[in-house]
Each structure stands twice: as structure tokens, then as C-alpha cells.
Amino acid sequence: MAKEQQLPQSVAAIEARGYAVWQKQDLGPEFIGRFDETRIPVVGLRHVRQWGIQVDDEREIMGHERTSIPDEELWEFVLEAKDGSTYEVNASFLAPAPE
């Protein structure tokens, strides 16, 4: 299976474009100000799997016989700031830059 087929559609669109823009402004104006306002260069992509947990012991979490937290697939883009430094940012904060 090709790498592009495994990527979520939103992640594949950013990777194909090579540039991103902010979809969410939740990271704060100081951090966002480090990047170009119209096209943020994407220099890498990172896939992270955060493993979930399951607890079957009432002594660990009182009142819960079984507690499960599912695995989570995270995609992070490595973005290049105006000064050339790089930062890893969760893909959910980004959208593909317009052409």
C-alpha cells in the first residue's frame, strides 16, 4: 500500500501542496507570528501513535470496573519559521495553503 493511501485526506493535501496555513488560531499570536502569514513551508511529516490504556482493577480507578482509553493516531507537520527554525505542529491546526 502506498504511503499516500495511508494518510488521512487532510494530511495528504497539505503534504502534496508543501505549504500550510493556520486552520485554528489556538496556539497563540506569539507562536503563530513566527511563521509566514500566507504560506508556511512544510519540511517534514511525522506519524505518532499514542497507545491507549485499559484498566480492569477497581482499586486503580474507584467506581469503574473497566476503563478504556482508545489508541490515538496523531499526525504532525514540521514547519519552517521565518527565521529558519523548525517546529512540530499537530496537523489538526493546519490546512493546505491556497495556490
Tens-place pLDDT, residues 20-46: 999 987 888 999 999 999 999 999 999
Could you tell me the pLDDT band of residue 2, with boundaries at 50, 70 and 90? very low
C-beta of residue 46 within 8 angstroms of C-beta of residue 73: no
Give yes or no for residue 62 having a pLDDT over 80. no
pLDDT band at 13 (very low <50, low <70, confident <90, very high): very high
Average pLDDT over residues 3-31: 86
Residue 1's pLDDT band, with cuts at 50, 70 and 90, is: very low
Question: What is the model's pLDDT at position 50?
Answer: 78
Confidence class for position 18, pLDDT limits 50, 70, 90:
very high
Q: Please, how many CA atoms are within 13 Å of residue 34, restricted to the half-sphere of its CB? A: 13
Residue 51 Cα distances to 5, 54, 67, 89, 95, angstroms: 22, 10, 14, 19, 26
